Amino acid sequence: MKAKRPPLSKWGKAGIAILSIHLAIAIIGPFFAPTDPGEILTFIAFAQPGEEGTLLGTDYLGRDLLSRLLYGAGLTIALAAVTTAVGFVLGVVVGFYAAEAGGRIDTLIFRVVDVVISFPPILLALVIIVGLGSSIPVLIVTVGIIQAPRVARIARAVAMDIGTQEFVEAARARGEKIWSILIREIWPNSLLPLAAEFGLRLAYAVLLLAALSFLGLGIQPPLADWGALVRENMAGLYYGGWSIIIPALSIASLVVGINLFVDSLLAQANRDVSREMLQ
């Protein structure tokens, strides 16, 4: 009889609650935005919360901060999810194939992976974006490329561990093709650790995209994610800092929610967060 999986911890449930709130804001928030995010309400920049008929104040151009925050939520979460999915799929395919192929193929693939990982992520992103220009497709490809090698290392380790099990050996003995073994035998038994890795990569994508936007290489005006809102309103530090604090806290709370949920998944899988996962 299969043992029951332990329930989520209270911190895991807290993470789910935080993520649910952010997802709700991202999906329905724009419908409740007081104004269009690009509309200039007043010539008073960095109005405090409650002033000029606004709930959270205004940004550096006198636009409603709440509206820009609500619209930015969907862009921030959607872009992080898509970039993570691209990197995750590519990394899992490469890692699984290398683990099952073994030998020279495994060595060759992971020498290339090691070369890509050796580049600092921000530096690699700067080189790609400066060369190709800043656009949403370029951001998706760039962050996906940065994420994929790190996912590949974890996927390879998981696949090699599962590959030593008897049911996988039996599949090899039956003469099944490599992709059949990967899809039918290894993939279904690796879902929990890979789900935890996806969560870690999602949190990393949120922070990386915010950093790129802060440097002016991410989402371009008139669109704005939360990282761009922080960059736009840097001058607001001299007027109380609400226009920076609110989007910065939004980024932080999203990342904290993801990490709380991921930690709970890792506990269920009876696994500690390895150094490779944190790189």
So what's the pLDDT on residue 145?
92
Cα angle at 208 between 202 and 214, to 5 degrees? 140
Write out pLDDT tens, residues 102-125: 788 888 988 988 888 888 888 888
- Going by the DSSP 8-state scheme, the letter that residue 217 receives in this structure is -
Q: Which domains does the chain have, with CATH numbers?
A: 10-278 (1.10.3720.10)
Counting runs of H as helices and runs of E as strands, what totals does the chain give? 11, 0
pLDDT level of residue 279 (50, 70, 90 thresholds): very low
Q: What is the pLDDT of residue 274?
A: 42
pTM comes to: 0.84
pLDDT at 255 over 90: yes
Q: Are 37 and 63 in contact (CB under 8 A)?
A: yes
Which pLDDT belongs to residue 175?
Answer: 72
Going by pLDDT thresholds of 50, 70 and 90, the confidence category of residue 2 is: very low
Assess whether pLDDT exceeds 80 at residue 64.
yes
Taking only the tens place, the pLDDT of each residue in 151-191 is: 999 988 888 888 777 777 777 777 777 777 777 778 877 88
Percent of the chain with pLDDT over 90: 28
For residue 85, the model assigns a pLDDT of 95
Q: Output helix, strand, coil percentages for the chain, rounded to the nearest 5.
A: 75, 0, 25
pLDDT of 205 higher than 90: yes
Residue 278 pLDDT greater than 60, yes or no: no
The string of pLDDT tens digits covering residues 228-238 is 898 888 887 77
Q: Averaged over 268-279, what is the pLDDT?
A: 46
Q: What is the predicted pLDDT for the residue at 268? A: 65
